[in-house]
Structure formats: structure tokens, C-alpha cells
Amino acid sequence: MVAVETYQTVAEAAAGLGEGARYLGGGTIVMRQVNYGDQGFHRIVRAARPERGIGNDVQGLRIGAGTTMADILAHAELSFLHPVAGQIGGPAIRNMATVGGNLFAENPYGDMAAALLALDAQVIMAGGQTHPMERFLADRKHMRGLVEAVSLQRPQPGAFYYRKVSRVKPKGVAVITLAALIRGGEPRVVFGNMAAAPMRAHAAERALGGGVSEASIAAACAVCTEGLSPTDDALASAWYRAEVAPVHLRRMLESGGHS
Ligand SMILES: Cc1cc2nc3c(=O)[nH]c(=O)nc-3n(C[C@H](O)[C@H](O)[C@H](O)COP(=O)(O)OP(=O)(O)OC[C@H]3O[C@@H](n4cnc5c(N)ncnc54)[C@H](O)[C@@H]3O)c2cc1C
């Protein structure tokens, strides 16, 4: 039997968390865990009024953790994220699935988390602490507290690249997710499903440091799997992922960025 406790805000819900509790965002993952009899928790904590929607802060855009994929698709201001949100599950999932939940979604999920890592987002906790996405993802298993929002700079038109490699169209889960932000001399290239959590491909980033050209794409593709550790699962073997990752990196970079 799982007890459900409802608080008004995420901050209050964070204070109500404790041993044996799991926070409920949109519930697309948590409710499946309940239905399968997950013994890891016996209390569900939820917030009646989580931060939901898009605003502005000092960094640029602030997206509440309770914002759903459907909310993102309804915002013209977030058009660069539409290719990401629009390929997460089907319509019913997109109506429930939140940005906050996606930050904790394990492989083969976490497409929005991969995109936010490429976009150099900051994760804002209910207590006000902020973590760069890279540190947050590396430590997420040990994170205490709840996520209130994420904050990011809007990318220049065409600077954000995204590609989801899936075997089942249009709503299959990813074999690999790729995202990149090409800005100045500091490109960011991210792979999802190529490690335990979305990860930057630093060697590829160095190769693209002088800009995107035929030569730099070739150099990036040659080294893009360095430091990554894909695993075998029911969707694909680690070997297959490593083989096709350069092919999809090339296709993503050659097809241009989103506006
Ligand atoms: C059929 C199906 C298809 C799917 N397809 C995709 C897909 O294509 N791509 C993809 O990325 N995902 C996919 N998912 C996974 C999932 O729907 C998404 O990752 C979604 O964004 C998770 O968000 P949620 O709000 O539903 O999470 P929940 O189930 O509510 O929570 C998931 C985890 O995150 C924690 N959590 C949630 N919100 C917060 C918060 N604010 N602070 C701290 N912890 C929090 C919860 O405690 C829980 O541990 C799919 C799921 C299903 C069932």
C-alpha cells in the first residue's frame, strides 16, 4: 500500500520528503513503479502547485520543473526545444511527462535532460541552490531535495542541434540521443544512452572548437565516442551504439541547427 501526501508547493513537498518517499511529477515513471510493486518506497509526495510554465530570470529562460512536454510544445518561445519535446512518447505521455521528471529518467529515457545538458542549463533546487546540469547529472542518484526549475540562455537561431535515433517511429524510445550547442569557440556535444546518464563528448567538442566545417565534422566523428561507455540493452548492443554514433553525429551536424 502506497500512501499519497499532497503539499501545496515543491518547497513544502521537499520538506515532507523522507525515508521511503518518492516525489511524483507527472507520474509516467513513478506510477509504473507503483503498478509493478516497487518496494523502494511506500509514500508518494506531490505538490499541488509545482512551478509550471516558462518565465525569465537572470540567465535568460526559466522553465518550471512541473512544465510538461505538451506545455513546451505550446510555447512558440521554446521552438528550439520542440524537436526534443515532440518526440517524447505519444500525446498522452507528453501531457503528463515533466521536465523535472526527465532529469531523473534513466536510460533509455532522458532526452530532455540530454538537450538541457547541451544547452548548458542550470538546475535550481527548491531550497535555491543551483547546479550546472553536468554536475547534477553526474550526481543525480545522490541528490537530496527537489528540483524547482531549470534556467538557460536562449541559443542563437540555428545554434542548437538535436537528433533522436529510434527504431520505432514516431514515438519509440532512443537508441542514442544527440544534442549540441555550437557557439563561438565553446561547442557542447552531448550523447544520451552512451553512458549511465547523458554525457558530454569532450573530444568531439575540441575537434569542433574552430567551427563547423567538413574537416572539423570529420575530426569530431573520428573521436566522438572517446570517454563514453555505452551498454548493451534490449534496444541495441554497446558495440552497435559505438559504431553508429559517429554516423548520427555527422548527420546531425550536417542537417543544421534548430531555431
Ligand atoms: C510509454 C512511455 C514512453 C516514454 N518515452 C520517452 C521518450 O521518448 N523520451 C524520454 O526522455 N522519456 C520517455 N518516457 C519516460 C518519461 O515519460 C519521461 O522521461 C518524463 O519526462 C518523466 O517525467 P514525469 O514527470 O512523468 O516523472 P515521474 O514519473 O513523476 O518521476 C520520475 C522520477 O523523477 C523524480 N522527480 C520528478 N520530478 C521531480 C522534481 N521536480 N524534483 C526531484 N525529483 C523529481 C521522481 O521522484 C521519480 O524518481 C516514456 C515513458 C513511457 C511510460
Sorting pLDDT into bands at 50, 70 and 90, what band is 144?
A: confident
Please report, rounded to a whole number, the percentage of residues in the chain having pLDDT higher than 70. 100
**How does the average pLDDT of the chain come out, rounded?**
96
Angle at which helices 238-255 and 214-223 pack, to 10 degrees?
A: 160
Assign 256 a pLDDT band (cuts: 50, 70, 90). confident
Ligand 1 mutation target, pool 98, 131, 150, most atoms within 8 A of CB: 98
pLDDT value for 26:
98
Q: What is the pLDDT of residues 126-140, one digit of tens each?
A: 999 999 999 999 999
Ligand 1 atom at shortest distance from the alpha carbon of 173: 8
Locate the ligand 1 atom nearest the alpha carbon of residue 99 and give its number: 21
CA-proximal residue: ligand 1, atom 8 (nearest): 88
pLDDT in tens, 185-230: 899 999 999 999 999 999 999 999 999 999 999 999 999 999 999 9
Domains along the sequence of the chain with CATH: 3-47 (no CATH), 54-152 (3.30.465.10), 160-255 (3.30.390.50)
Ligand 1 centre to CA of 24 (Å) is 9
Which pLDDT belongs to residue 143? 87
C-alpha 221/C-alpha 17 separation (Å) is 44
Using the atom order of ligand 1, give the atom closest to the CA of residue 147. 42
Q: Which residues, judged by CB distance below 6 Å to any ligand atom, belong to the binding site of ligand 1?
A: 22-30, 65, 88-89, 93, 96-98, 100-102, 104-105, 109-112, 146-147, 173
Residue whose CA lies nearest to ligand 1 atom number 7:
88
Distance from C-alpha of 139 to C-alpha of 142, rounded to nearest angstrom:
6
3-state SS string for the chain: CCEEEEECCHHHHHHHCCCCEEECCCCCCHHHHHHCCCCCCCEEEEECCCCCCEEEECCEEEEECCCEHHHHHHCHHHHHHHHHHCCCCCHHHHHHCEHHHHCCCCCCCCHHHHHHHHCCCEEEECCCCEEEHHHHHHHHHHCCCCEEEEEECCCCCCCEEEEEEECCCCCCCEEEEEEEECCCCCCEEEEECCCCCCEECHHHHHHCCCCCCHHHHHHHHHHCCCCCCCCCCCCCCHHHHHHHHHHHHHHHHHHCCEC
